Structure 1
Amino acid sequence: MSDDPRSWLDLAHVDDAVFELRPDYRALLVLADGLRPGPSDDVSEKLLAHAEQQARELLDGGAPEELPHVAAWRDAFRAFGAKPQRTRTSVEALLRRLDTGLPRVDRLTDAYNAVSVSRATPLGGEDADRYRGPLRLVRATGEEEFETTRSGEPAVEHPSPGEVVWRDDAGVTCRRWNWRQCLRTRLTESTTRAIFIIDMLAPMTGADAAATGDALIDALRATSPDLRADVRLLAK
C-alpha cells in the first residue's frame, strides 16, 4: 500500500456494476495501525466468549438464515450466481459454528470475528501492507488470479465471470464478496497494520455501520491499546 495510509484509503471504491446488483450495499472500511498481533490470549478469549453469548441470544434458537441481514446476504449471493447453501457468507459460516464454539485463531482475527457474530454482519481483516495498489470491489472478468491453498499447498484459482470480488492491482483479495480471503493478504503474527471491511445490506442502516465500526475499534483497542484508526464509508 501507499506510504500515505489516508490517501490509500481514499482511493478505495465500489464499482457501479456492484451497486447495480445491490444499490443498498455499503462497506465501512477501518484502516487500523499500531496493532499488536500474536496468538489468542485471555483478552481475545473474553471478546469471543461474550460475542458467542450475544449471538446465541440474537438467534434465540433459530437458524442463522432466519436473521434478516443473513437472509439479505443469501439473496445477494444468488444474484451473482453463487449458491448460499454451498458458499456461505463469512458471518453465516461463523454463526453455524456456535454450537461447538467459534474458532480461536489469533488475537486480531478473534477480535473481528467477535464483532462479526455479535452484530450478524460479514467482517473481514487483511494485512494492509501486503496490498498492491488500492482495494476495490468489482464484478470479476474471470481472468483475475486468486492465491489460495489446495491440499495444503499454494494454488492459484480464478473467480467466475460476474462474481463479486474484492481486489487490488495484483489480483483478487477476497472471493464472492466476503466468502474466502486470499493467502497473500491474510493476517499473520507480524501484521501491525490491517484493513477491516464491514459489509452491510438493508435492513442494516448507516447508523448500524457506524456502530459496528465503533464496536470493531473498541475490540481491536482491547488487544492493541496504541491503536490508530482511519474510517471510510463506501455507499451508492
Structure 2
Amino acid sequence: MAISPPSAAASPEAFLASARVDPAVYELRPDYRAMLLAVDGLVPGPSDEGTDALLRAAEKAAVDAVGSSAPEQLPHIAAWREAYRSFGAKPQRTRNSLEALVRRAIGPGLPRVNRLTDVYNAISVLHQIPLGGEDLTAYDGAPRLIRATGTEAFDTTAGGEDVVEHPDAGEVVWCDDAGVTCRRWNWRQTRRTQLSDQTLTAFFILDALDPMSDEALVAAADDLVARLSLSTPTLRVVQRLLRAGAA
C-alpha cells in the first residue's frame, strides 16, 4: 500500500517512511545508498568553541588525507565525480559537496555557519562522505531522489538576488512537492529548507557509493548523532537506509 506524503507536521517516522529513490537513479549507480536521519529535539544556535574545534580537526584530517596529491584523487571524491558524469554534469565545474568541503578545508578553511551546519560539515570531511542537513519542518511532502524533468523549481540566489532556477533534464535531484531541495545529487541545497539557528527538527542525508562500505556509512551516521547529542542528551533519532532492491 502506498504511503501518503507527509505534511510539515508529520512525525519523523512517517517522514522517513515516505522517502524514496527512483529506480532511474539506481540504474545510473546500483551501488548507491542513502542513510536518512530524522533528528528531533535539537538545540540550535550559532557556531561555538565546540564546533570550531571539530571543524579544525576536520581541516587537519583533510590536509593529511590529500597530502601531496589532488583532492579529486581521493577514492570517495573520485567515485562522486564519476557519478556526476553519468548524468551529464561536469564535476570540475560543479563539485560534489564532499569535494567542495575538502577543498575548503585545505585552504582557506571550512566555513563557520551555525552549530548544526558546522557539525555535519565536519562529519562529512572526517568520514569522506557527502552529507546534507535540512530543516525537516520546511518540507512539503515526501523527500525523493529522482532524475529531473527540467521543469521543477529550485529556490536559490544568484548575484545576491533571489531567483528560481530549474535543473537540467535528467539531472539527479532531491525534491519534495514544492520543488527541488538539492541539485545534482548533493551539489547545492535550496534556501527554503536550509538549517538555521531556529531549527529544532532536522533531516540529514548521507550519500554513499562504492568504495564506501555499509559499515563506514553506519559509522558516519553514528558519529553525527553522537556529536549532535553532546548538546542534546535526549535527542530523538529515527533512521532509514535506502538502497537498490530494498523495500
Asked if TM exceeds 0.5, the reply is yes
- How is 1:27-38 mapped onto 2 (pairs within 5 angstroms)? 27-38=34-45
- Residue deviations 1:63-106, cap 9 Å, x none? 11111111010000001000000000011011111222111111
- Among 186, 202, 212, the residue aligned to 2:210: 202
Mean Cα displacement is larger for which, 9-18 or 215-224?
215-224
Mean Cα displacement is larger for which, 171-180 or 147-156?
147-156
Q: What is the CA distance between 1:224 and its match in structure 2?
A: 3.1
Matches of 2:67 and 2:119 in 1, distance apart?
23
Q: What is the CA distance between 1:62 and its match in structure 2?
A: 2.0
Query: What secondary structure sits across from 2:31 in the alignment?
Result: coil
Partner of 2:52: 45
Partner of 1:72: 79
Query: What secondary structure sits across from 1:232 in the alignment?
Result: strand
Unaligned runs of 5+ in 2: 1-7
Identity of aligned residues (%): 57
Partner of 1:173: 181
Q: What is the CA distance between 1:58 and its match in structure 2?
A: 1.9
Matches of 2:207 and 2:17 in 1, distance apart?
17
Partner of 2:4: none
Partner of 1:8: 15
Mean Cα displacement is larger for which, 122-131 or 96-105?
96-105
User: Does the CA contact (< 8 Å) of 1:128 and 1:193 recur in 2?
Assistant: yes
Unaligned runs of 5+ in 1: none
Query: What secondary structure sits across from 2:230 in the alignment?
Result: helix
Query: What secondary structure sits across from 1:208 in the alignment?
Result: helix
Partner of 1:116: 124
Matches of 1:105 and 1:7 in 2, distance apart?
29
User: Does the CA contact (< 8 Å) of 1:132 and 1:170 recur in 2?
Assistant: yes
Partner of 1:20: 27
Partner of 1:105: 113
- Among 194, 217, 222, the residue aligned to 1:214: 222
Aligned CA distance change for structure 1 residues 223 and 50 (closer, same or farther; 3 Å): farther
Q: What is the CA distance between 1:56 and its match in structure 2?
A: 1.9
Query: What secondary structure sits across from 1:96 in the alignment?
Result: helix
Q: What is the CA distance between 1:154 and its match in structure 2?
A: 1.4
Tell me, yes or no, if structure 1 residue 89 matches structure 2 residue 60. no
Matches of 1:101 and 1:223 in 2, distance apart?
24
Matches of 1:113 and 1:173 in 2, distance apart?
18
Q: What is the CA distance between 1:2 and its match in structure 2?
A: 4.1
Matches of 2:66 and 2:231 in 1, distance apart?
27
Matches of 2:219 and 2:75 in 1, distance apart?
18
Relative to the length of structure 2, the TM-score reads 0.93
Matches of 1:59 and 1:218 in 2, distance apart?
26
Code of the aligned partner of 1:23: P
Relative to the length of structure 1, the TM-score reads 0.97
User: Does the CA contact (< 8 Å) of 1:141 and 1:161 recur in 2?
Assistant: yes
User: Does the CA contact (< 8 Å) of 1:108 and 1:223 recur in 2?
Assistant: no
Partner of 1:134: 142
